[in-house]
Amino acid sequence: MRTKYAFPILFSGRWQFRLQGLLTFYRSLWAVTVRRMFNGPMLPGWSLSFEVSNDFLKRQTQKGFQFTDHSQSREYEDAVLFTAGNSRSITKTEVEVPVKGAWYSAPNETNSAVLLYLHGGGYAYYSKAHDNLIGLVVKAINTKTFALEYRLTPEYAYPAQLEDALAAYRWLVDSQPMGKNIIVAGDSAGGNLVLSLLIAIDQQKLPAPKLAICISPWTDVTNTGDSMRQNERFDWVTKAMADKWAQWYCAGQNQSDPLISPVKAKLTGLPPIYIQAGSAEILIDMIRDFDEEAKKQKADVTLEVWENMTHDFQAYGDLVPESKEALIRIGEIVRKYCG
């Protein structure tokens, strides 16, 4: 019986990159199918679609690192994309001033808060795939969302990204009535930026957001923890990728600076922080370390870990039960803190 591939695939950009990406997809499909014939799923509960997607993301990202031209690398990343499909009702309106980014709106927004979303991508990419993830988060919480398009590495190193995030946050604070009820959220490197932003807001004595949400946050740019190696065979992100992104982001600056690696920071007094992660991702040890450090400091942090899930698994929407459940939890947390 033929197995239908479950996730919609989108193509963009030059045909050469589309073709290369499509060939990479078929390599992943073949490799995973053969491996499963002999050994079963790589982890319990993994469907063929999920495992192929995970393998494809790893191969595609590794291929992107081979480009010396970073604009071409980003174009290649966007050539072939998977989408969950159930975020299509979200509208997107791009803006250039006073900060660059886009507003995302759900058809029936029921929450009066405004969300500032900080995307992942190792600080080096802003993939079109994030339209899908941001849309899923917006749909889950039903609130107007501004996704910041901050400057990327290696062209711009730290603190450019934090400066851009602070500028966006100040703009939202000054934009009444939205400034009364702000949430900040982000995934991966964007989760790192969320935590750094909270610390900077506290240091500069700005009005604090009601809530922070971090999806698979990069809490320690020194990339320590056994899971960086032990989970490489499961996750689509590798230690080599994380090390390169850290090198570009820090550009010779101290990687243990609390505003770069928030696990080293003073966390007491920060607003509530809700974190989601997967047990099979390479960042899980540092995420747990951050949670432990936060609890030692009596910070208001909640960590929820989904068994056998990989980095940014929420992007699968309703197509994966764990992703669907995680998005529902995000909506519940927002309603708890923001009504």
Active-site residue 53, yes or no? no
What is the separation of C-alpha 115 from the centre of its chain, rounded to a whole number of angstroms?
Answer: 15
Q: What are phi and psi of 94, to 5 degrees?
A: -80, 145
Query: Is residue 82 within 8 Å of 9, Cβ to Cβ?
Result: yes
Catalytic residue selected from 28, 49, 53, 188? 188
The two structure tokens encoding residue 93: 């309106």
Query: Is residue 41 within 8 Å of 219, Cβ to Cβ?
Result: no
Active-site residue 96, yes or no? no
Residue 101 CB partners (closer than 8 Å, separation 6+): 94, 95, 146, 147, 148, 149, 168
Pseudo-torsion of CA 7, 135, 210, 292, nearest 10°?
A: 20
Find where tokens 């299509």 sit: 88
C-alpha span between 116 and 164 (Å, rounded): 12
Active-site residue 261, yes or no? no
Catalytic residue selected from 77, 216, 281, 323? 281
Q: Write the DSSP assignment of 143-209 as a string of letters.
A: SEEEEE----TTTS-TTHHHHHHHHHHHHHHHSTTGGGSEEEEEETHHHHHHHHHHHHHHHTTPPPP
The two structure tokens encoding residue 31: 């490799």
Catalytic residue selected from 53, 77, 127, 311? 311
Q: H-type helices in the chain, by residue range? A: 15-39, 48-64, 70-79, 129-141, 160-174, 189-203, 227-230, 239-250, 284-296, 321-338
The two structure tokens encoding residue 268: 């007491």
Find where tokens 């996704």 sit: 147
Just list the catalytic residues.
188, 281, 311
